[in-house]
Amino acid sequence: MQVIRDAEYQAFLGTLSPEQKQRLKPYMESYVSENKRNQMDTVISHRTRHVAVVLENIYQPHNAAAAVRSCECFGFQDLHVIEESFNHELNTDVTMGGCKWVSLHHHKKEVGGTVPVLSQLKADGFKIAATSMRPGCVRLEEMDIDEPVALCFGTEEKGLSEDAHDLADMFIQIPSFGFTQSFNVSVSVALSLSSIRNRLEESDIAWRLQPADREDLYLTWLMKTANRGILLARHFLENE
């Protein structure tokens, strides 16, 4: 079965005018149950792109899969996976379907590693926050989230690369009070997103999706839910 990446949905929607999207919306809704559409409407109201998660070279696939699940549960839409040395086939038993609802951005080594990915996120207006054990870290709950943040996590053994540290605007540490210095990376992602989610909910930060972004994400979810949804969408637009 062909696997359609999130980038393909994004590229497809990028070719459509606002008018085409509006005509496509009720057509795609006809292939999705009312109950599922209502669920989408509720969930999307809590989605945010104010914080993106970046995993750099995570070599244990179940940790990457667990991070997807955490992003989905806490309402963070974007997860970037930088694959410097390892290729990830996400375990759907671990993600519990989360990969269907989270925008996964795969960055293969052959098309650029950490430096271009983080540089692009900076250009897009994100501050780079590196989880680290180095001196000068601030506690997770003290991290500045007034501006968009790309929160970066490294390998289980070595942490983030020198490139990631060099590009970071801030260093973040999750407080630990035991003999073990750090948490498993999937646990670190879950703890971090839980803390940030609570802070966003209590803040005046404009963290919710903008209307146009919300509509595009809703259309993407409709196409992912309908059987061969993107093919249906293309056929509809070609023959309307």
Are residues 113 and 80 in contact, defined by beta-carbon separation less than 8 angstroms? no
SS3 at position 206: coil
The mean pLDDT value for 36-63 works out to 93
pLDDT in tens, 80-119: 999 865 555 544 444 445 688 999 988 876 666 899 999 9
Render 142-156 in DSSP notation, one character per residue.
G---SS-EEEEE-BT
The reported pLDDT for the residue numbered 151 is: 98
The reported pLDDT for the residue numbered 62 is: 83
pLDDT in tens, 187-233: 999 999 999 999 999 999 999 999 999 999 999 999 999 999 999 99
The reported pLDDT for the residue numbered 20 is: 97
Architecture of domain 48-207: 3-Layer(aba) Sandwich (3.40)
Domain map of the chain by residue range?
1-47+210-240, 48-207
The mean pLDDT value for 51-55 works out to 97
Kindly state the DSSP code that residue 207 receives in the 8-state scheme: -
The reported pLDDT for the residue numbered 19 is: 96
The reported pLDDT for the residue numbered 84 is: 65
The reported pLDDT for the residue numbered 93 is: 45
The reported pLDDT for the residue numbered 119 is: 96
The reported pLDDT for the residue numbered 25 is: 97
Residue 60 has pLDDT above 50, yes or no: yes
pTM: 0.90
> CA-to-CA distance for 15 and 67, rounded, in angstroms?
31
Average pLDDT, the chain: 89
The reported pLDDT for the residue numbered 97 is: 59
Are residues 94 and 84 in contact, defined by beta-carbon separation less than 8 angstroms? no
